[in-house]
């Protein structure tokens, strides 16, 4: 422990950031105090675009490991840091690269599309990367007669299959904080709050997505709450995003879905590992640095750049 107060940590982080020409990126599932000190927060597509464009010397990713790895793949000459190495993504972990390689080898001639929440090694095995924001448009841009494997999130895959009338083969992975949200609880909340709009991330179960008023990436959900005249929302994603929703909509109300008894809560515990103390130490000591082999970087860069390129051409 540094012994600094939160205010001192914030001041120290700000001056270290200047001194080291560092930039801090984060996602909406971070603790509020981390969100507030980030130079940029966004969904996975926006974070990837920013990492690709930044001229900072050091990029600190307040998120989970696949985000920092993505930054390193796109900016291999920069120092890419993460405040806590234990901040892993359970969805990424649900698709080990060796098992995925066996899975795709059994299905030759398939186009391999991987969601960005995948390891660098899985990205290196893929043809195109997608995020929840651009997935439907990118899949639609692929000739209809092409066979596709989609990994690792089966709920997002089923959602894309539904909207694109495809039959992509799905890897059987899930995100534990989204997949745990139960339809019964959502229906009970809808009954108690008949005016509330249900807004959901596409990693939720199909039965929730079916009854949602709006489905989208984290940024899309936030934008929806800003643009609509509706005033009450049942939010089917990590509760970390409520911080921004309240900031932008102080007079609107946001209802978190309580999770089943079997789950701790609808907060990703890995995302919440990053805190001000760890962020301060991360910039001060320039640790923990993301290291990937040149071979993985060179292979994983190809499908990521394909996604960035397609994202400039497609509308979504
Ligand atoms: P998206 O909104 O881009 O899906 O990002 C959220 C996320 O995946 C955090 O793991």
Percentage of the chain surpassing pLDDT 90?
A: 94
- Whether 218 is in the pocket of ligand 1, judged by its Cβ within 6 Å, is yes
pLDDT(311) > 60: yes
Q: How confident is the model at residue 1 (pLDDT cuts 50, 70, 90)?
A: confident
Q: Is the CB of 115 under 6 A from ligand 1?
A: no
118 lines ligand 1 (CB under 6 A): no
28 Cα to the center of ligand 1, angstroms: 8
Q: What is the pLDDT of residue 266?
A: 80
Angle at 128 between CA 124 and CA 134, to 5 degrees: 135
What is the sign, positive or negative, of the torsion defined by CA atoms of 65, 68, 61, 79? positive
Does residue 58 share a domain with residue 28? yes
141 lies in some domain? yes
Containing domain of residue 84, as a range?
A: 6-88+271-292
Determine, yes or no, domain membership for 264.
no
Collapsing DSSP states into helix, strand and coil, what is residue 90? helix
Residue 180 has pLDDT above 80, yes or no: yes
Q: Identify the pLDDT of residue 104.
A: 98
Q: Is 283 within a domain?
A: yes
Q: Is residue 263 part of a domain?
A: no
Number of domains present in the structure of the chain: 3
Question: Is there a single domain that holds both residue 99 and residue 124?
Answer: yes
117 lines ligand 1 (CB under 6 A): yes
Neighbour tally for 112: CB within 10 Å: 21
Domain containing residue 229: CATH number: 3.40.50.10800
- Please indicate, yes or no, whether residues 166 and 215 belong to a single structural domain of this protein: no
pLDDT tens, position by position, 226-281? 999 999 999 999 999 999 999 999 999 999 998 755 544 588 999 999 999 999 99
Same domain, 169 and 306: yes
Calculate how far, in angstroms, residue 254's C-alpha sits from the geometric centre of ligand 1. 19
Residue 167 forms part of a structural domain? yes
10 shares its domain with 82? yes
Same domain assignment for residues 157 and 303: yes
Q: Do 170 and 185 sit in the same domain of this protein? A: no
Closest ligand 1 atom number to CA of residue 220: 2
Residue-level pLDDT at 129 = 98
> Which atom of ligand 1 lies closest to the CA of 132?
4
| The two three-digit tokens of residue 90, written as one number | 């359970």
* Distance of CA 115 from the midpoint of ligand 1 (Å): 10
Q: Are residues 10 and 84 in the same domain?
A: yes
161 lines ligand 1 (CB under 6 A): no
Note whether 228 and 281 are same-domain residues.
Answer: no
Q: Is 176 in the pocket of ligand 1 (CB under 6 A)?
A: no
The predicted structure's pLDDT at residue 231:
98
In a domain, 262, yes or no: no
Residue 266, in any domain of the structure: no
| Pair 129, 205 in one domain | no
Q: How far is CA 90 from CA 13, 130, 290, 295, in A?
A: 29, 18, 18, 25
What pLDDT score does 139 carry?
98
Q: Is the CB of 44 under 6 A from ligand 1?
A: yes
- In angstroms, what is the span from residue 217 Cα to ligand 1's centroid? 6
Tell me what pLDDT residue 261 has.
Answer: 57
- The mean predicted confidence, pLDDT, of the chain is 96
Share of the chain above pLDDT 70, in %: 98
Highest mean pLDDT among 182-191, 215-224, 260-269: 215-224
Residue 182 Cβ inside 6 Å of ligand 1? The answer reads no
Domain boundary among the residues 256, 280, 305 is at: 256
> With a 6 A CB cut-off, is 121 part of the ligand 1 pocket?
no
CB 29 near ligand 1, within 6 Å = yes
**Model confidence pLDDT, tens digit, residues 78-113:** 999 999 999 999 999 999 999 999 999 999 999 999
**185 lies in the same domain as 245:** yes
Residue 261 lies in a domain: no
- Point out the ligand 1 atom lying closest to the alpha carbon of residue 91: 10
Are the C-beta atoms of residues 257 and 241 closer than 8 Å to each other?
no
109 and 244 housed in the same domain: no
Element (H, E) at 278: helix 276-285
CA dihedral 300, 301, 302, 303 (to 10 degrees): 60
Cβ–ligand 1 contact at 237 (below 6 Å): no
Mean pLDDT in residue range 209-228: 98
* Cα-based distances in Å from 177 to 152, 180, 181, 237, 264: 15, 6, 7, 8, 9
């Amino acid at each position: 422990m540094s012994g600094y107060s939160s205010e001192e940590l914030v001041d120290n982080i700000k001056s270290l950031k200047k001194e080291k020409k560092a930039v801090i990126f984060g996602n909406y599932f971070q603790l509020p105090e981390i969100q507030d000190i980030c130079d940029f927060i966004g969904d996975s597509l926006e974070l990837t675009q920013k990492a690709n464009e930044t001229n900072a010397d050091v990029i600190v990713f307040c998120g989970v490991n696949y985000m920092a790895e993505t930054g390193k793949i796109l900016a291999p000459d920069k120092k890419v840091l993460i405040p806590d190495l234990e901040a892993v993504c359970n969805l990424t972990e649900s698709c080990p690269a060796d098992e995925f390689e066996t899975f795709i080898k059994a299905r030759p001639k398939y186009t391999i599309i991987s969601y960005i929440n995948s390891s660098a090694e899985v990205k290196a095995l893929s043809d195109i990367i997608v995020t929840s924001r651009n997935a439907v448009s990118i899949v639609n841009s692929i000739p209809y007669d092409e066979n596709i494997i989609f990994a690792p999130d089966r709920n997002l895959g089923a959602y894309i299959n539904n909207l694109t009338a495809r039959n992509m083969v799905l890897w059987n992975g899930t995100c534990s904080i989204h997949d745990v949200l139960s339809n019964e609880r959502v229906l009970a909340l809808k009954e108690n709050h008949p005016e509330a709009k249900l807004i959901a991330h596409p990693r939720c179960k199909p039965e929730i997505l079916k009854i949602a008023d709006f489905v989208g990436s984290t940024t899309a959900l936030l934008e929806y709450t800003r643009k609509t005249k509706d005033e009450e929302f049942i939010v089917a994603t990590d509760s970390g995003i409520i911080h921004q929703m309240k900031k932008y909509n102080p007079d609107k109300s946001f209802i978190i879905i309580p999770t089943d008894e079997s789950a701790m809560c609808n907060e990703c515990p890995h995302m919440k590992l990053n805190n001000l103390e760890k962020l301060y130490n991360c910039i001060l000591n320039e640790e923990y640095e993301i290291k990937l082999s040149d071979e993985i970087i060179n292979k994983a860069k190809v499908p990521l750049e394909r996604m960035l390129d397609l994202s400039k051409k497609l509308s979504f």
